[in-house]
Amino acid sequence: MQALNGALEQLGNPSSVHGHGQNTRAILEDARDQVAHAVGANRSEIVFTSGGTEANNQAIKGIYWAQNRKNKARKVIVTAATEHHALLDPIDWLVEHEGAEVINVAVGSSGMLDLEDLEQILSSRSEEIALVSLMWVNNETGVITDIVRVTELAKRYGIPVHSDAIAAIGHVPVDFAESGLTAMSISGHKVGAPIGVGALVVARDFSPVSLLHGGGQERGLRSGTMNYPLATSLGAACQEAVSDRVERQSRLKQLRDLIETEIVRAIPSAVVTARDTDRVDHNAHLIFPGTQSDNLLFLLDQEGVSVSAGSACQAGVLGASHVLVAMGHPEELASACLRITLGHTTTASDAERFIEAIIKIHPGALVASQSTQSAN
């Protein structure tokens, strides 16, 4: 906030040559350095965007078009059904309008991607694949994908890889240079910046086709006068999110483990999703058989507790979580879940209050015909 407020006091188009423009250009470029430093990228690889959705759209469509222009046969996009809709929907658009084909990597019941399946897809369709896009951390279950392994496999065939790293930054070590990725998406509000800013990190040796055309700012990938106040808040937030990551995650892991243990003790039918899988420490995801997510959310809200079910972006149209369905859960259980995200301000008393609230409201959230299915 401090960075944002300071920048809002400065006026000037960062592309102008006058002094005011040079001042705001300096603010923008400092922000670029901060983001680059936080995610192990070169400063020239940071393209500021309006958020994660734009970054994902630019990556998917831009890389697809660039690959397709070089070789018309490259029409296949390899991804997974557990991705966020901000990624799945641009891919669907390419299928509908540009004749793209999607191949989904198999997902296990634990939420882990089957990288042997990826290997098989890559070797059998290598000449037709335009790109691979797999998220670093799943925003619902918190499951982590071994992105370095993914890029190692794709590199054998010279196939570019994009990753939606929005749920990863500040929670797992992210180093763009070491990852082998061609592009990576970041969203500001997931790292503590205001809503409406993000970035696409694009390797220097790759030129995606731009979605926007105009003044040619941001390597020609994001025409339009640059939003230096939001960029500077993204820079500050990224820096902060990575600087205390280790200490914060270990504190939040204790609270997360407490929440899971106490809930399962008090509500034995509750099941922790992806419990034994490699997952981030600040995220708890549970299925409450016999309930509906929107009932749980409503009753918890009345207790003053804010949590989500699927993606918050879709919470207005709550249905079964497509992520849980992709993991093989029946719709009934995929619409009976809660995602609890702990942040740097979450305290032990917040965790205790949440545990009390869920135990209190759970009986009221049970729907008339209780599920007899097992969530395991």
The neighbouring-strand residues paired with 67 are none
Mask 300-339, x = binds ligand PLP (CB under 6 A)?
Answer: -------------x--------------------------
Here the tokens at position 360 are 């209190």
Among 170, 192, 198, 208, binds ligand PLP (CB under 6 A): 198
Q: How far is CA 204 from CA 152, 182, 350, 364, in A?
A: 19, 9, 44, 55
Which strand (E) or helix (H) includes residue 155?
helix 147-155
The DSSP code sequence of 5-53 is HHHHT----TT-SSHHHHHHHHHHHHHHHHHHHHHT--GGGEEEESSHH
Structure tokens at 318: 């709550």
Residue nearer to ligand PLP on the CB measure, 122 or 186: 186
- Does 82 help bind ligand PLP (rule: CB under 6 A)? no
Question: Shortest distance, CB of residue 164 to ligand PLP, whole angstroms?
Answer: 5
Paired strand residues for 103: 78
Nearest to 170 by CA among 133, 130, 220, 136: 136
The 40-59 site mask, x for binding ligand PLP (CB under 6 A), equals -----------xxx--x---
Compare residues 126 and 314 and give the one whose CB is closer to ligand PLP. 314
Instruction: State the Rg of the chain over Cα.
Output: 21
**Nearer CB in complex with ligand PLP: 106/313:** 313
Of 166 and 255, CB closest to ligand PLP: 166
**Catalytic hit among 102, 106, 258, 313:** 313
Subset of residues 337 to 356 that bind ligand PLP, contact rule: CB under 6 A: none
Other Cβ atoms less than 10 A from the Cβ of 70: the count is 10
Token code pair at residue 288: 């409450």
The reply on whether position 84 binds ligand PLP by CB under 6 A is yes
Is 125:296 a contact under the CB 8 Å cutoff? no
> Do residues 200 and 219 lie in contact, with contact meaning Cβ atoms separated by under 8 Å?
no
Beta strand ranges found along 55-111 (DSSP E) = 76-79, 101-104
By beta-carbon distance, which residue lies closest to ligand PLP? 52
- Closest CB to ligand PLP among 273 and 295? 273
CB of 123 to ligand PLP, least distance (A): 28
Among 66, 86, 121, 358, binds ligand PLP (CB under 6 A): 86
Nearer to ligand PLP, 187 or 292 (CB): 187
Cβ of residue 342: shortest distance to ligand PLP, in angstroms? 15
The stretch among 111-119, 184-192, 212-220, 365-373 that binds ligand PLP (CB under 6 A) is 184-192
Question: How many residues sit close enough to ligand PLP to count as binding (CB under 6 A)?
Answer: 16
N- to C-terminal Cα distance for the chain? 43
Phi and psi of 64, rounded to 5°? -60, -50
Query: Is 337 marked active-site?
Result: no
Q: Does 139 bind ligand PLP (CB under 6 A)?
A: yes
Catalytic residue IDs = 313
Contacting positions for ligand PLP (CB under 6 A): 51-53, 56, 84, 86, 135, 139, 164, 166-167, 187, 189-190, 198, 313
